Amino acid sequence: MPGGGTIVLLDTSAYVIYALRASYRVGGRARVFEHPLNSVISRFLGFCKQRGIRVVISKTVAEELDRVLTMAINRRMDEAGLRSYLVRQGIRQKCLRRAKRLGGFVEELEIGDPLVNRVRRMYLSSRDKLARVKEAKGRRGLYPSETDMRILAEAAKLAGLFNVYLVSADMDFTCFKEEALRRLNVKIVHVSELVSLMKKLRGDCREA
């Protein structure tokens, strides 16, 4: 894999946020089902496409995407009080199609030898913060899942070749921005911060 340049790596949560948008009708009224940050990430991905900035997902993200997306769609429809089978099925199909369309733009990379041990050491150095994240997420274990640690380890591997931005809304990543930058050279960006990242990348393009 040739080095150099900037890569935007989407984690599963970011990809799901993009996919969560669908129009539907209830009682003759048109409505929109969407994640609050959908417009932000949609605008950002359009910006990247226009400027030729590489946007990628790892094979690890690709392998869990359908399962996580289906769970997220169902959870948000429950939260919105959508009970109609036909409405739910229509929304589900539109979100899945939206995810598939994005796959036509986003590259899928199989990243060999991810730096898992370096990621484990990073988290080991921040046990107090991990405990707070564990409580906020309501999980049993102290550490992120093996899948999440592998995704960050893949980003760290890419960071040896590229200027890597990992876009996420997952606290297991976004609460460890300083640690990831210092120890892994990975720049973690919350989806809500993508407008600022666009401004930075636009400036970088002018200077290049």
**Distance set, CA 132 to CA 122, 128, 138, 167 (Å):** 16, 7, 10, 21
**pLDDT-derived band at 203, boundaries 50, 70, 90:** confident
Question: Is the pLDDT assigned to residue 130 strictly greater than 90?
Answer: yes
Question: Is the pLDDT assigned to residue 4 strictly greater than 80?
Answer: no
Question: Is the pLDDT assigned to residue 208 strictly greater than 60?
Answer: no
Question: Is the pLDDT assigned to residue 204 strictly greater than 80?
Answer: no
Q: What is the per-residue pLDDT for 144?
A: 95
Angstrom distance (rounded) from CA 8 to CA 106 = 10
Q: b vs e for 49-68, b when ≥16 Cβ sit within 10 Å of the residue's Cβ?
A: eeeebebbbbebbbeebeee
Q: What share of the chain is helix, strand, coil (3-state, %, to 5)?
A: 60, 15, 25
Question: Is the pLDDT assigned to residue 3 strictly greater than 50?
Answer: no
Question: Is the pLDDT assigned to residue 154 strictly greater than 70?
Answer: yes
Q: How many CA atoms lie within 13 A of 2 on its CB side?
A: 4
Q: What is the per-residue pLDDT for 2?
A: 47
- Return phi, psi of residue 86, to 5°: -65, -40
| pLDDT 10s digits, 181-198 | 999 999 999 999 999 999
